[in-house]
Structure 1
Amino acid sequence: MNVSYQENNYAEANYTSFHSSSLAENTFLKHAEKDPLDLILQTTWRLLRVYPDGLRQDSSNLDPIHPWNFGVQLVALNYQTDDDLMALYYGKFRDNGCCGYILKPDYLINAQETKFNPWNCPIDFDNPKILTITIISGQFLPRSSVKSKDIPDPYVRISTHGLPCDEKIQKTQVIKNNGFDPIWDETFEFRIRFPQMCLVYFSVIDYDPISGDDRIAYFSAPVEMIQPDYRHIYLRANNNDETHSTLFVHVDIRSDNNADHDFGIKNLIHSRL
């Protein structure tokens, strides 16, 4: 049964576990800024849903990372829009075969004790890691469209998405006129403070200075799902279909024993929400 969103004390006194509330993205953001713990506490015993604002008449998507950071169970996206945010959505549930729910970290489940605040959180809640990825080469990369006769000029953009302190974007150089077997052999390092909440997003992009760059393939997955050593990443098409395209990479994951335990970011609001 859907009911209006109220503060947690009122909800506990008047609602039960089968009462859910739906929030437009801007309403969610207001509550997340005003009292983040109150919002998180409600996700520990009942369902909350966040959906795109009605002004998104172009069917653009909200960033699902923000509601997930607060423990929101249901984040609605415009499924017909194959953008980077939809790619993150696919990646979030890849760990369980894209079927059903995934378990939240303990510090979200036990928020009453942890007082977890995504805007300002000491990193001793999780086990920080250093993720080192070498993009070695690509194989059989597609063109930007079925009708295109242009050979792609590919580069790879690697980004991490989770709590504000774990947001980072890096990219390789552009390889001209080679979608068959481009070689980059470039290494990137990511310090992940909250690996249980973080996604890694590989986006292969066709460089075009005239009409704009086009994403031609991608792959995303939770950091906790990434395995070390040499790997072939099987890329997905823009509509999430399987392809024959791959990235050949080397992955190294180790504990970050030198992480700053006073690290935190206060009142950081992402412009993509």
Structure 2
Amino acid sequence: MELIWFTQKNILRVYPKGTRITSTNFKPLRAWMHGVQMVAFNMQVRVYMGDGWRKDFSQAHFDKYSPPDFYTKLYMVGVPADVRKVRTREIIDDWIPIWNQEFSFPLTVPELALLKIVVREHDAGKDDFAGQTCFPVSELKPGIRVVRLRDKKGKKFKSVKLLMRFTLE
């Protein structure tokens, strides 16, 4: 009752505990039922697979004698509490990498958060750029999506894309 009385005259924000390491989602409904006005949430990103590099790049663009070794980096950019970077595992010698990995980003201020996605190809020296994109989290729609990637200048590749699933809770 004290919480309900407090939220009638004050703005209250709640968010998932910063030490949460599981991918379970924070349940905002309980806080809303008690009058909390701002409830942060977890954004989960599953990177299923990528495709199209074989069409947009030459066979020897990444590696002269073998198929590429792709991995994806996901960056959450926003207020300092929301900043995070994760990386998929490397898929060795495959033009169509299948990662099937899920990541969770607890967000305190989702309206200021951006999700940056960069695909790279691992090399013995410097890793090669293989595509990028960036989205405001507020514009992401839940569900399975085809995410078109862009080159270093921001131009969309004709064929390069990722298959991803977004869950916002």
TM-score by length of 2: 0.70
- Secondary structure in 2 aligned to 1:224? helix
Report what 1:175 is aligned to.
91
- Secondary structure in 2 aligned to 1:238? coil
Asked if 1:203 is matched to 2:118, the reply is yes
Report the AA paired with residue 137 of structure 2: V
Shift of 1:142: 6.1
Asked if 1:246 is matched to 2:158, the reply is no
- Secondary structure in 1 aligned to 2:81? helix
* 8 Å contact kept, 1:137–1:248: yes
| Gap runs ≥5 in structure 2 | 1-10, 16-35
Distance in 2 between residues matched to 1:142 and 1:129, nearest whole Å: 37
Shift of 1:122: 8.2
Alignment of 1:54-133 (within 5 A): 126-133=38-45
Distance in 2 between residues matched to 1:217 and 1:205, nearest whole Å: 7
Distance in 2 between residues matched to 1:220 and 1:152, nearest whole Å: 23
Task: Label 1:177 to 1:233 Cα distance change in 2 as closer, same or farther (>3 A).
Answer: same
Report what 1:161 is aligned to.
77
Report what 2:4 is aligned to.
none
Shift of 1:169: 0.6
Asked if 1:236 is matched to 2:157, the reply is no
Asked if 1:212 is matched to 2:155, the reply is no
Query: How big is the alpha-carbon RMSD for the aligned residues of Structure 1 and Structure 2?
Result: 2.6
Distance in 2 between residues matched to 1:224 and 1:138, nearest whole Å: 24
Distance in 2 between residues matched to 1:135 and 1:202, nearest whole Å: 10
Report what 2:32 is aligned to.
none
Distance in 2 between residues matched to 1:166 and 1:149, nearest whole Å: 33
Identity %: 21
Distance in 1 between residues matched to 2:94 and 2:110, nearest whole Å: 34
Dislocated runs of 4+, deviation >6 Å: 121-125
Task: Label 1:215 to 1:142 Cα distance change in 2 as closer, same or farther (>3 A).
Answer: farther
Distance in 1 between residues matched to 2:116 and 2:61, nearest whole Å: 25
* 8 Å contact kept, 1:196–1:224: yes
CA offset digits 1:59-81 (Å, max 9, x no partner): xxxxxxxxxxxxxxxxxxxxxxx
Shift of 1:139: 0.8
Report the AA paired with residue 83 of structure 2: E
Task: Report how many aligned residue pairs link the two structures.
Answer: 133
Report what 2:53 is aligned to.
141
Report the AA paired with residue 98 of structure 2: I
Task: Label 1:219 to 1:149 Cα distance change in 2 as closer, same or farther (>3 A).
Answer: closer
Shift of 1:177: 1.5
Report the AA paired with residue 223 of structure 1: V
Distance in 1 between residues matched to 2:102 and 2:152, nearest whole Å: 25
Distance in 2 between residues matched to 1:216 and 1:191, nearest whole Å: 27
Distance in 1 between residues matched to 2:134 and 2:62, nearest whole Å: 28
Report the AA paired with residue 144 of structure 2: Y
Shift of 1:219: 0.9
Report what 2:141 is aligned to.
227
| Gap runs ≥5 in structure 1 | 1-113, 115-120, 255-273
Shift of 1:170: 0.6
